[in-house]
Structure 1
Amino acid sequence: MKRCKLPTARTLLTLALVGMAWVAGSAMAQQRDADQPIEVEADRLDLDDRAGTAVYTGDVDIRQGSMRLTGDRVEFQRNAAGELSRATARGERAYIEQQPDPEQPVVRGWGRTIIYHVAERRVELIDRAELHQGGDTFDGGYLEYFLDRRVVQARAESEGVEGRQRIRMTLQPER
């Protein structure tokens, strides 16, 4: 695996990973993670500064503090102002995680496609989607997680989902 470090790519990654905090009110976790170095492993990087994209392919593993994003392909897109607008991970089991606070469990998400919409602070987990926090789990064809509101919406069928994947949920009793 090759390590990729480019100033423009670093800027894209910093914006992407800082924005991926999974739980509202996790400013401490965001700052703690933002202060950590970004580590990227991939087989290939295609960076197009004019188009505002960075595409990593080949067993991509991106880490910063407690945050991690993996997939066969990970693409970052910037808007006209140069800010990260969307991060998309694809693979047989693309994966995203973060520990919002040392006192809280790690939040983990899987799907064949994971799309993080930065401005909306919304994560889509598409096809064979799963979302876990502690003992609570959600899975199905499509899961949408709104970070600030801590809202999950789930569907058995949606665009990009193979077949019908019924929604399942397990919630642990409050202690």
Structure 2
Amino acid sequence: MQITATSLHASRARSPRLTARANRVAIGLAIGLSMGLGSSTALAAQADRNQPVKVQADKKVTKYQEGTSVYTGDVVIDQGSLHATGQRATLYLEDGELVRAVLEGRPATFRERDEEGNWVEGEALQADYRTAEGTVVLTDEAWLKRSGDEIRSDRITYDLATEVVEAGEEGGKSRVEMTLQPRNKEGGNGGD
């Protein structure tokens, strides 16, 4: 797999080992975000994993001792059909492995095609992907859309292992809004 990172204003030489690690984290973020609405997206994400990852930002700061890389300023992550954007991406590593990736923006966005060719899209002010828990948490003005179906809430949590989506918060502090498109007789939908 070819992995590249581009810092638009960087002129210093980077450690190839850490750059590759940071890009693997970006892959994790991208894949985690793209899996927000079900197994057909997961299959598309599998195909995208064989594509090169490209990360662009205005600035990148890597703290080797802390195991973090922070990309800031018009962050763009592309891999296959996946396209994710934000103003800041913070990637956390332990022993060279991804443990957490946080994408922030006004909003942070992602878009990817599922196995059926439909776009899966999402946005939030923050997307937090945690590998140990296997979860993606979209917070603040969160929105997901697939095949015309949409869900909105201040908080949306997706468990990658169980494919369980939770929206809203304890105590009902925020409302959940779901829009389901009618399906046609052939099993398709009226969306996209």
Pick the TM interval, shorter chain: 0.7 to 0.9
Instruction: Quote the offset at 1:171 in angstroms.
Output: 1.3
> Residue 9 of structure 1: SS of its match in structure 2?
helix
Tell me how large the CA RMSD over aligned residues is.
2.5
Task: Find 1:125's aligned residue among 138, 142, 145.
Answer: 138
- 1:145·1:153 contact (CA, 8 Å) conserved in 2? yes
The TM-score with structure 1 as length reference comes to: 0.82
The structure-2 alpha-carbon separation of the partners of 1:55 and 1:15, relative to structure 1 and needing over 3 Å to count, comes to closer
- 1:139·1:167 contact (CA, 8 Å) conserved in 2? yes
Task: Find 2:82's aligned residue among 59, 62, 67.
Answer: 67
What does residue 110 of structure 2 align with?
Answer: 96
What does residue 17 of structure 1 align with?
Answer: 27
What does residue 150 of structure 1 align with?
Answer: 163
Task: Find 1:171's aligned residue among 180, 185, 188.
Answer: 180
What does residue 37 of structure 1 align with?
Answer: 52
Among all aligned residue pairs of Structure 1 and Structure 2, give the percentage whose two residues are the same amino acid.
35
Instruction: Quote the offset at 1:17 in angstroms.
Output: 1.5
- 1:61·1:68 contact (CA, 8 Å) conserved in 2? yes
Task: Find 2:91's aligned residue among 69, 73, 76.
Answer: 76
Instruction: Quote the offset at 1:25 in angstroms.
Output: 6.5
**Which is helix-richer, 1 or 2?**
2
The TM-score with structure 2 as length reference comes to: 0.76
Instruction: Quote the offset at 1:12 in angstroms.
Output: 2.2
CA distance in structure 1 between the aligned counterparts of 2:86 and 2:99, rounded to whole angstroms = 19
Q: 5+ unaligned residues in a row in structure 1: which ranges? A: 159-163
- The one-letter code of the counterpart of 2:162 is R
Q: 5+ unaligned residues in a row in structure 2: which ranges? A: 1-6, 185-192
CA deviations over 1:20-43 (Å, ceiling 9, x no partner): 251436665344222212212211
CA distance in structure 1 between the aligned counterparts of 2:99 and 2:111, rounded to whole angstroms = 19
- Residues matched between the structures, number: 168
- 1:3·1:41 contact (CA, 8 Å) conserved in 2? no
What does residue 55 of structure 1 align with?
Answer: 70
CA deviations over 1:104-160 (Å, ceiling 9, x no partner): 4222221111101123221111001101111110001111112232221111579xx
- 1:87·1:117 contact (CA, 8 Å) conserved in 2? yes
What does residue 3 of structure 2 align with?
Answer: none
Q: Report the structure number with the largest CA radius of gyration.
A: 2
